[in-house]
């Protein structure tokens, strides 16, 4: 049982150091005041609302023992622009979890003027909490399976085994022994993306170079068949993937046809240092009319960047079934995630019903906090 009675109150910027200390005690990664300013002052979604809380803290005897953040995001659904909030960085000390975890999260689901509440990086525990408030899994059948390509078999196996073998020496030995077999499987089964040779130009640009050509692509995407999509204007993309000191980097892989942007992928360096895994993740991918050749080119270029960076794994989670089916032509490996990561609840019954089919969504990690560089911690789950 808790040692003292606790209260839930709205969080403020003055709580930064106490929340940072709480997160660090549980190995959830570091933050900076600059990160908080970016999340809750520079966020383009705030142009649609006068005030939204940055989150809530659980306080006992003037000590913060719990926190959940709330990141505003804009989503497009046809001609409508909706306001969503994404749960972020929920942390609560063990002795308070049973009695106060619902109380800490309740304000998130009662915000006025919010159309959707999202949790896109849930674990088993937080998934059960949001379901208690009526949130349901996003209707994407394979959202709890990642696809990944192994580029350095020995390094990948050593990282994989360090999670499952107590002895580091034994994990290293087994990794060396299995590297040859894994390398042979990659060659024999051709487990790598290939470029179709279409009439496209590929380039890599830094996040701060994202410009008006991305606005043009986004405008064309909003005229395609109805799907719920997080807003991807150039301004929003630059904010979402902004660089901050010590953060993992992100780059944009761009695919153009006849001088016009036809699609892009945002790739992020997101290592798992606790097991020594060097990894690049595909955080976002968009192609005009879901063009399969553009998708092929974006995957191929992302893979080539991963080779140049000498990482062990290129990985992605989510995206619609049609996109995943095209990516699967590169014969990736797959793994089951520990828990379903993506839940949502709409404020209106009518909207909840319209979002009940797979075809209504373009769901991917870009939708929430898992890929915002200002919010990414140093610990990321590894295969």
Look at residue 58 and tell me whether its pLDDT is greater than 70.
yes
Q: Which pLDDT score, from 0 to 100, does residue 162 have?
A: 75
Residue 379 banded pLDDT, cuts 50, 70, 90: very low
pLDDT tens digits, 77-127: 988 999 999 999 899 999 999 999 999 999 999 999 999 999 999 999 999
Q: What is the CA radius of gyration of the chain?
A: 21
**What residues does each domain of the chain span?**
145-336
Residue 244 banded pLDDT, cuts 50, 70, 90: low
Residue among 313, 324, 377 at smallest CA distance from 149: 313
Look at residue 381 and tell me whether its pLDDT is greater than 90.
no
Average pLDDT over the chain, rounded to an integer: 90
pLDDT tens digits, 196-221: 766 679 999 999 999 999 999 999 99
Residue among 367, 381, 362, 363 at smallest CA distance from 71: 367
Please check whether residue 165 is in contact with residue 174, taking contact to mean a CB–CB distance below 8 angstroms.
Answer: yes
pLDDT tens digits, 155-200: 898 888 877 665 666 666 666 677 788 888 888 889 999 887 666 7
Dihedral pair phi/psi, residue 164, rounded to 5°: -125, -10
The Cα 335–Cα 146 span in angstroms is 5
| Assigned superfamily of 145-336 | Gcn5-related N-acetyltransferase (GNAT) (3.40.630.30)
Q: Is the dihedral of CA 330, 331, 333, 335 positive or negative?
A: positive
Q: Which pLDDT score, from 0 to 100, does residue 146 have?
A: 96
pLDDT tens digits, 271-294: 888 888 999 999 999 999 999 999
DSSP class of residue 208?
Answer: G
Please check whether residue 143 is in contact with residue 318, taking contact to mean a CB–CB distance below 8 angstroms.
Answer: yes
pLDDT tens digits, 296-351: 999 999 999 999 999 999 999 999 999 999 999 999 999 999 999 999 999 999 99
CA separation (Å) from 346 to 82, 111, 332? 10, 12, 34
17-24: Cβ within 8 A, 24+ apart: 18/57, 18/63, 18/64, 19/57, 19/64, 19/67, 19/89, 19/91, 22/64, 22/65, 22/66, 22/67, 22/91, 22/93, 23/67, 23/89, 23/91, 23/377
Q: Which pLDDT score, from 0 to 100, does residue 169 have?
A: 64
Dihedral pair phi/psi, residue 71, rounded to 5°: -100, 120
What is the CB-side half-sphere exposure of residue 102 using CA atoms within 13 A? 7
Q: Which pLDDT score, from 0 to 100, does residue 50 have?
A: 63
The Cα 199–Cα 142 span in angstroms is 31
Q: Is the dihedral of CA 376, 129, 46, 286 positive or negative?
A: positive
CA dihedral 112, 88, 62, 92 (to 10 degrees): 120
Q: Which pLDDT score, from 0 to 100, does residue 187 have?
A: 86
């Amino acid at each position: 049982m808790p040692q003292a009675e606790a209260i839930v109150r709205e969080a403020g910027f003055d709580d930064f150091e106490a929340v940072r200390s709480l997160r660090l005690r549980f190995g959830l990664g570091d933050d900076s005041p600059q990160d908080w300013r970016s999340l809750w002052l520079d966020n383009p979604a705030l142009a649609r609302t006068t005030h939204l809380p940055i989150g809530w803290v659980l306080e006992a005897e003037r000590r913060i023992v719990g926190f959940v953040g709330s990141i505003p995001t804009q989503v497009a659904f046809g001609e409508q622009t909706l306001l969503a909030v994404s749960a972020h960085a929920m942390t609560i000390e063990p002795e308070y979890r049973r009695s106060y975890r619902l109380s800490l999260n309740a304000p998130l689901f009662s915000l006025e003027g919010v159309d959707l509440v999202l949790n896109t990086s849930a674990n088993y525990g937080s998934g059960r909490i949001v379901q208690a408030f009526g949130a349901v899994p996003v209707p994407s059948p394979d959202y709890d399976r990642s696809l990944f390509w192994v580029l350095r078999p020995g390094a990948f196996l050593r990282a994989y085994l360090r999670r499952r073998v107590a002895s580091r020496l034994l994990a290293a030995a087994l990794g060396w022994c299995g590297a040859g077999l894994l390398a042979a499987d990659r060659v024999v089964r051709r487990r790598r993306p290939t470029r179709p040779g279409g009439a496209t130009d590929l380039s890599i640009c830094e996040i701060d170079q994202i410009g008006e050509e991305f606005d043009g692509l986004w405008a064309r995407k909003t005229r395609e068949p109805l799907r719920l999509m997080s807003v991807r204007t150039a301004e929003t993309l630059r904010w979402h993937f902004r660089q901050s000191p010590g953060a993992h980097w992100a780059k944009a892989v761009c695919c153009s046809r006849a001088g016009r942007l036809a699609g892009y992928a945002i790739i992020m360096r997101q290592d798992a240092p606790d097991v020594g895994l060097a990894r690049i993740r595909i955080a976002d991918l968009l192609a005009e009319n879901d063009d399969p050749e553009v998708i092929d080119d974006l995957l191929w270029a992302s893979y080539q960047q991963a080779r140049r960076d000498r990482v062990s794994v290129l990985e992605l989670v989510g995206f619609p079934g049609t996109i995943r089916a095209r990516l699967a032509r590169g014969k990736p490996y797959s793994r089951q995630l520990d828990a379903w990561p993506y839940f949502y609840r709409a404020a209106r019954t009518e909207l909840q019903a319209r979002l009940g089919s797979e075809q209504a969504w373009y769901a991917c990690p870009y939708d929430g906090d898992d890929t915002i560089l200002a919010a990414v911690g140093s610990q990321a789950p590894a295969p």
